[in-house]
Chain A
């Protein structure tokens, strides 16, 4: 199509660029309350929509089903059920991990949502969908107020 395409691969040119994109991300009012309760009181807080009878984990300040504002907070459990899982062999850049990691979606008890996290204290072969697990928190001195204050989920 082009009239004079480059046919000599030794003459191909390119520039390497870097799209800088550094941000702060705010967990918001709901996330702030959730992470503080997790860090300080080892509690799993959720929000509840009465008209939909739906409990949000992680908590949100609004209901995606009926579009109402939510202000009813409830305490959920630190336990749940493995809804699905996968053994991840690569890191976030696609490089091989020294040790593969079991990642799971855990439906948290007393909520309609859940948490995506690592499973520990169990072999990949022994994990089953429907398996009961509980959150294992980091030592209080090591908590930072984020999702990694949960070290992993382990068989309950």
Chain B
């Protein structure tokens, strides 16, 4: 039994569309088909005979369908096969796929997540419906007030500055300039971020990642299959996911405890004792600017209250000690809703394969992808990947 539990899992194929602000020319199914076809080609597998199980990470409300899992099999090549949808982010779906392989139930699993955000006519209304109806929906304000509250507390507790949060935005948009998939690359000034209109003070428009459309598919395989299929499998070394209390009234409002606990567990599995030294790059959730700083501290890349200063010193730049969100993150590549966490994994895989072109981190062999499910959740995951088994 123990042997089975420790079975190794690798990413052997990735496929993706460009990330774009709108995609009026294609349906979400056509986007999924494009990403899936590319991923299967990359892995050298055919979905109708080689893939044992198909998993998507999606939420009915983002999609505009009830029972959304009924709408995924055909465009993935998954009809008449084991299919399920994880009502969570793409990384939670990927971890579910990894477990199916780890248990020995499946040899090859396809994992998908996408965003059709530009089809949403009532984005804020849907986010508002994530708030507790009895205790938290009574105020007629933008549901991102939850991020405004958290940002204020974070700035107050850590003494991080407003400018440092703005620098996260400028860094990630600049990183996106060298990511051909990114929807929102820009050379933006800190002043532009700080002077953009207030949404929920201290949170401004530019502190919020802009929505984008896109689809990502990954093919996972057991060690035996991975060695057959791939010359450069990327191994999953550690993984965990945590949900804190859903009650806003029971949170401490300053720490990303979900990120701390999930990274502690994942790092233990991966033998990461010093994340700052051992991780060659890190992709963390940056739905809002301050979340990148908060997440870096929570996962132990630096001490609490240090992330802003280290950012200013260039430590998290592409050529810094710990490059953070080289892909551009949600702020630069675009907020792909549930698929952004797979975008983080995708960047890690491309970097660890050495295929990142201009933005390649030289000699990268261990990377981490951290996710957060957005307002008002306190749910997140962590995945450590390596190109060495």
Interface positions of A (Cβ within 8 A of B): 1-2, 5-7, 9, 12, 14, 16-17, 19, 21, 23, 25, 27, 31, 56-58, 64, 83-94, 97, 100-101, 103-105, 112-118, 124, 129, 146-148
Question: Is A6 a contact partner of B139 (Cβ separation < 8 A)?
Answer: no
Question: Is B153 a contact partner of A90 (Cβ separation < 8 A)?
Answer: no
Interface string of B111-154 (1 = CB under 8 A from A): 00000000001111100110001111011111111001111110
In Å, the complex CA distance between A58 and B139 comes to 17
In Å, the complex CA distance between A13 and B186 comes to 31
- A85 CB contacts on chain B under 8 angstroms: 149, 152
Question: Is A86 a contact partner of B148 (Cβ separation < 8 A)?
Answer: yes
Question: Is A92 a contact partner of B26 (Cβ separation < 8 A)?
Answer: no
- A101 CB contacts on chain B under 8 angstroms: 139, 141
In Å, the complex CA distance between A1 and B37 comes to 9
Decide yes or no: A91 and B135 within 8 Å by CB, A83-B153, A86-B202 being known contacts.
Answer: no
- A117 CB contacts on chain B under 8 angstroms: 138-139
In Å, the complex CA distance between A7 and B26 comes to 11
- A17 CB contacts on chain B under 8 angstroms: 64
In Å, the complex CA distance between A68 and B200 comes to 38
Stretch at the interface among B3-11, B176-184, B248-256, B327-335: B248-256
How many whole Å from B258's CB to the nearest CB in chain A? 15
**Segment 172-192 of B: residues with Cβ below 8 Å from A:** none
In Å, the complex CA distance between A71 and B124 comes to 37
Decide yes or no: A1 and B149 within 8 Å by CB, A64-B245, A86-B202, A113-B250 being known contacts.
Answer: no
How many residues does chain B have at the interface if contact means C-beta atoms less than 8 Å apart?
A: 51
A-B CB contacts (within 8 Å), total count: 138
In Å, the complex CA distance between A31 and B133 comes to 12
Nearest B residue to A83 by beta-carbon distance?
B253
- A116 CB contacts on chain B under 8 angstroms: 135-136, 139, 149, 248-249
Question: Is B30 a contact partner of A88 (Cβ separation < 8 A)?
Answer: no
Answer whether residue B199 sits at the interface, using C-beta atoms and an 8 A cutoff: yes
In Å, the complex CA distance between A104 and B136 comes to 11
**Segment 287-332 of B: residues with Cβ below 8 Å from A:** none
In Å, the complex CA distance between A136 and B153 comes to 24
Answer whether residue B221 sits at the interface, using C-beta atoms and an 8 A cutoff: no
- A7 CB contacts on chain B under 8 angstroms: 25
Q: Name 11 A/B residue pairs within 8 A (Cβ), A-sorted.
A: A2-B34, A7-B25, A25-B134, A27-B134, A92-B142, A94-B124, A103-B148, A113-B247, A146-B134, A146-B138, A147-B138
Instruction: Using A2-B26, A91-B141, A103-B149 as known contacts, list a sample of 8 further A-B pairs with CB atoms less than 8 Å apart, ordered by residue number in A.
Output: A19-B66, A84-B152, A92-B128, A92-B140, A100-B201, A104-B149, A147-B134, A148-B138
Nearest 4 Cβ contacts at the A-B interface: A86-B148, A88-B141, A87-B201, A90-B142
How many whole Å from A8's CB to the nearest CB in chain B? 9
Nearest A residue to B65 by beta-carbon distance?
A19
- B250 CB contacts on chain A under 8 angstroms: 56, 64, 112-113
Output the residue of A84, A100, A129 with the most chain B CB within 10 A: A84
Answer whether residue B203 sits at the interface, using C-beta atoms and an 8 A cutoff: yes
Question: Is B24 a contact partner of A114 (Cβ separation < 8 A)?
Answer: no
How many whole Å from A74's CB to the nearest CB in chain B? 16
- A2 CB contacts on chain B under 8 angstroms: 26, 30, 33-34
- B228 CB contacts on chain A under 8 angstroms: none
- A91 CB contacts on chain B under 8 angstroms: 140-142
In Å, the complex CA distance between A113 and B38 comes to 50
Nearest A residue to B31 by beta-carbon distance?
A1
Nearest A residue to B151 by beta-carbon distance?
A86
